[in-house]
Structure formats: structure tokens, C-alpha cells
């Protein structure tokens, strides 16, 4: 298995079908536009490839600092391709992100997960993550 950072539009195009399994309304054009903007804000997208070179999992993260979490990794996107779930790929990529965060001096990892994503909640709890709050959202 191999983890690579997605840095080019071509690489984004390669991993987009997996990302769209999580972000189902995301078009190629919107993904390209947002990816450029997000990279300016230090967003990193990491892809995990299996032994035959197929993209099996993605993690979109950034390093943030605030009063509550101090310096931490925030996971915006974490998805394993549907055909490859429950094979340990999410664990491998999340472990990579945890080590990456430690290398940059982060104290913790934070993320949100939508209420209906019960399988994701079970995964995070198995990985040692605690439910600590609700996340609120309001359109402007």
C-alpha cells in the first residue's frame, strides 16, 4: 500500500470517483475549482493505493489551531471506495494522517460525521475517537 498527496488536477481527476462516493453532488468542475481554493488554505488530500495501484481511500485534511483543540488536524473528508470497505484501508490511511499530524506538532485530530453515517461512527469509535460534541450548521 502506498499513500500519496494529491497535488495536481490530473491526480484529482484520478481520485475523484472515490471522493464522489462521499461528496455525491460534487461535479468535476466544482471539485477542480474548490480544490484550487482549498489548497490555498493549506488543505491536503491524501490518497491510499492498494497493491495493484488502485485508489482505495482518501483523506482530506488541514492543520488548524484554536482555543479548544490547540494545534490539531481537522479531517474534512475521509472515504474508502465502497468495493474496498471493511478491508482495513480506512485504518491504514487514518493511521497515516495521525502520524502526519504528530510530525507537524498536532495534539489531536477532530472531525465531524453526519448523523445517518452510523457505519462511519462505529469505525471512528473502533479507532479510538470519542464523541465530544454536536456540530451545527447554518446556511448564509
In this prediction the pTM is 0.91
CA dist 34 and 110 (Å) reads: 21
Residues 55-67: tens digit of each pLDDT: 999 999 999 999 9
Residues 83-122: tens digit of each pLDDT: 999 999 999 999 999 999 999 999 999 999 888 888 888 9
34 backbone dihedrals φ, ψ, rounded to 5°: -65, -40
pLDDT of 134 > 90? The answer is: no
In a domain, 109, yes or no: yes
User: What CATH number does residue 39 fall under?
Assistant: 3.40.630.30
Per-residue burial over 46-75, b if 16 or more Cβ lie within 10 Å, else e, is bbbbbeeeebbbbbbbebeeeeebeebbbb
Q: Which domain holds residue 100?
A: 2-126
Task: Domain count for the chain, please give it.
Answer: 1
Residues 117-133: tens digit of each pLDDT: 888 889 899 999 999 88
Q: Quick count: other Cβ atoms within 10 Å of Cβ 42? A: 10
CA dist 79 and 41 (Å) reads: 21
In a domain, 132, yes or no: no
| Residue 129: closest CA among 112, 114, 116 | 112
In a domain, 41, yes or no: yes
CA dist 49 and 139 (Å) reads: 36
In a domain, 93, yes or no: yes
In a domain, 119, yes or no: yes
112 backbone dihedrals φ, ψ, rounded to 5°: -120, 155
Q: In the structure, what pLDDT confidence band is assigned to residue 12 with cuts at 50, 70 and 90?
A: very high
Residues 20-78: tens digit of each pLDDT: 999 999 999 999 999 999 999 999 999 999 999 999 999 999 999 999 999 999 999 99
Amino acid at each position: 500500500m502506498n499513500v500519496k498527496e494529491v497535488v495536481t488536477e490530473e491526480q484529482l481527476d484520478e481520485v475523484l470517483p472515490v471522493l464522489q462516493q462521499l461528496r455525491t453532488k460534487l461535479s468535476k468542475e466544482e471539485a477542480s475549482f474548490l480544490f484550487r481554493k482549498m489548497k490555498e488554505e493549506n488543505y491536503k488530500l491524501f490518497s491510499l493505493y492498494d497493491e495493484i495501484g488502485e485508489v482505495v481511500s482518501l483523506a482530506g485534511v488541514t492543520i488548524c489551531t484554536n482555543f479548544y483543540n490547540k494545534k490539531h488536524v481537522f479531517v474534512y473528508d475521509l472515504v474508502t471506495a465502497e468495493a474496498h470497505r471493511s478491508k482495513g484501508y480506512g485504518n491504514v490511511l487514518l493511521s497515516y494522517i495521525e502520524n502526519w499530524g504528530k510530525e507537524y506538532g498536532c495534539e489531536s485530530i477532530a472531525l465531524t460525521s453526519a448523523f445517518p453515517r452510523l457505519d462511519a461512527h462505529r469505525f471512528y469509535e473502533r479507532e479510538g475517537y470519542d464523541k465530544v460534541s454536536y456540530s451545527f450548521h447554518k446556511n448564509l
